[in-house]
Chain A
Amino acid sequence: MARISPDQLRSLPPDSAIQFDSQGHLRHFLTISGVPREALTQILDTAESFMTFGEREIKKVPLLRGKTVVNLFFEASTRTRTTFELAAKRLSADVINMNAARMSTSKGETILDTVRTLEAMHTDLFVVRDSASGASHLIARHLPEYVRVINAGDGRHAHPTQAMLDMFTIRQKKGGFEGLKVAIIGDILHSRVARSQIHALATLGVDEIRVIGPRTLIPTEIESMGVTVTSNMSEGLRDIDVVMMLRLQRERMDGQLVPSEQEYFSQYGLTEEKLQVADTKAIVMHPGPINRGLEIASSVADGDRSVILSQVTNGIAVRMSIMATLMGGTEAVR
């Protein structure tokens, strides 16, 4: 696994530093921010070597044999949890799924109490999802050094494994990142996926990242992350190579952030017609689950340009790669 230099280690963004041990090895995977291009590329390369496993008769490798992985989901999830579970099982780990409810106050069992209890059972790797930004950082900070943490989504902050499977899919379909124009469309404000995608795309060196949405769904000073902002789809999609749609949570449709579903679809819903200005070979992505007819037309979601199902398939290999990387087992794969 690629190491980062002591100089790089010192200049990391504050929310990234905790991911590296003193030798510069990646030990947690909490945010893409600060993870260098070589490390991201290596994760993608390793994932590629895992891709064929799913098609084999015996789908397992013994890289994590004897290790215990706990999927600790404080927030509901089906596809992310399932793919993590499959990924861990294909690496021969013992997997426990915990769908835990927790109190959001100091009373009752806190998030750390839960984690420490599970750690006392000698867990090697936690996969954590929580509705609060920074929850996986909190957990990583308070676990012994040998326990690894993967962030499977924390509030609005980061969802790095989703971003990595998106990067894998882009590289698979486009051959690389150089020269690509990418648009991220929808509710950027509440989206951990968008934040991680932006970090990943910027690190991997795409040509341009545009974010598109109404001003109510664009966070302030997002330009500081290296993107350009537009509220106009025909302008934002012009000559675009990759279209990354975001899910619009229906609970946001309370008439304050977006006036109505009809209005939103008319302005930002991805249709064949709006896609006409994109590059002829543009691909369409979506992290799922899809709101058909709200953010994307069925004809596009199911159409030729859509790579949405590839994203799901790729998710398993990418998560295997990240788990193996953190557990130091990637050498055996090559």
Chain B
Amino acid sequence: MSIVIQGGRLIDPKNNVDMITDIAIENGEILAIGSLPQNFKPTQIIDASNKLVLPGVIDLCARLREPGEEQTATIASETKAAASGGITRLVCQPDTWPVIDTPAMANMIRDRADASGYAQVHPLGALTVGLLGEKLTDMAMLTEAGCVGVSNALNAVESTLVMRRALQYASTYDIPVFLAPQDPWLTGNGVVHEGEVSTRLGLPAIPEAAETVGVARDIAVIETSGARAHINLLSCGRSVTMVAEARSHGLAVTASVAIHQLIFCESDIGAFNTLFKVVPPLRERTDKEALLDAVRDQVVTVICSDHQPHGDDVKLAPFSEAAAGISGLETLLPLTLGLAEQGHFSMQDAIAALTWHPADIIGIDAGHLSVGATADVCVFDPALDWTLTVDEMESRGKNTPLMGQKMKGRATHTILAGELIFSRSN
């Protein structure tokens, strides 16, 4: 397949490119940008006038529910949803059932994703066997089987000694470690941020300190281990300050935020609306503002969907018992670019947070549009008005608080390694 994308505004933060131009794709790679070879005969022409041409989006945190919960969603259904949202690659957490703690599991997930033909899946391996926080996994072998990092998902590693050794061991092979620093004791059975909303609604609360204690501990351990660490899904303004300080001292630590933490805050929970139940919880307006500033200031360099598809029934429960998470693959790109348009951070930073920064963290050569690079491309129409409805969503999980809302901007074409895996007419 050979493709030419004509007349679009190409934004490639890694190469510091922002211009209206043509781009030619052949044999899975970017053949040329600007003046195309005279003998180039594309099999497909995409008119991108008034559209953005971006590197394919790389989502560092998504749940696909397979294996273990295929009744809720599958790798095929969710990678298709990803492609329809301009996402070409996504990283899945190891908390499937069974857990991704063996090379066989990692291979199986990659095989199934390849067979579905949509977005490419890069699994994370478990940091500890069964995510129990006790024994280290065969990290080197997991990496050889295609895992791009290791993580204990949302399961706490209670023993600081185990955490230190896990980080040290991972650093031996320069394997990135994804961390979710939440102190398990302070988190307890909490379901919302400890503040005015938890007090009024009488819901068990998670104090800010659950995260800051976790971040402080993990940063201290990272310092002594030399590991490359990625703190996944920050929720508190004070954690941002701690990460900024660690980075200013040269520590190899990066951080991400889920897009919903940049859009919503605790008061949106309203009357026990379980669609706003997420982990870590939505916090105060000032936290949201601090996280937006952190993206602008490049302390938080990655924005992810934290996609968690659920069936309707698990959300139809009292708040404390309802499942946590938002189905977010299809809104990640328009929401992020919308925040850039509102001036919270630059368009370059927004796109970098969705493309080459995540690629850099997991060490893959993707997320940019250099000549000769793998052709992962997303064409995005920033003027397209649409409404998020159940029918519009490809994901099996319809659990989003944005349901029924008007959205601006949408991916129209998604290309993975030179193949058009998704296109939207009109």
Contact = CB atoms under 8 A, between A and B. Distances in A.
Interface in A1-41: 13-18, 33
A101 interface: no
B320 A132 contact: yes
A157 B201 contact: yes
16 contacts: A18-B271, A33-B200, A105-B321, A106-B313, A134-B201, A134-B272, A134-B319, A134-B320, A142-B316, A154-B318, A155-B203, A155-B320, A220-B199, A221-B195, A224-B196, A224-B199
A40 B105 CA distance: 61
Contacts of B321: 104-105, 132
Interface in A120-159: 130, 132-135, 137-138, 142, 154-158
A110 interface: yes
A253 interface: no
Interface string A155-182: 1111000000000000000000000000
A192 B196 CA distance: 15
A257 B191 CA distance: 19
Contacts of B313: 106, 110
A195 interface: yes
Nearest to B315: A106
Contacts of A224: 196, 199-200
Interface in B179-210: 194-196, 198-205, 207
A14 B323 contact: no
Interface string B318-331: 11110100000000
Q: Specify the main secondary structure of chain A where it touches its partner.
A: loop
A225 interface: yes
Contacts of A18: 271
Interface residues of B, number: 24
Interface string A203-235: 000000000000000011110110000000000
Q: In the complex, which of the residues A134, A155, A219 has the most CB atoms of chain B within 10 Å of its own CB atom? A: A134
The 4 closest A-B pairs by CB, nearest first: A156-B202, A132-B318, A134-B272, A157-B202
Contacts of A158: 202
B205 A220 contact: yes
Contacts of A156: 202-204
**Which of A110, A138, A195 gathers the greatest number of chain B CB atoms within 10 Å?**
A138
A15 B318 contact: no
B317 A195 contact: no
B199 to A, nearest CB: 4
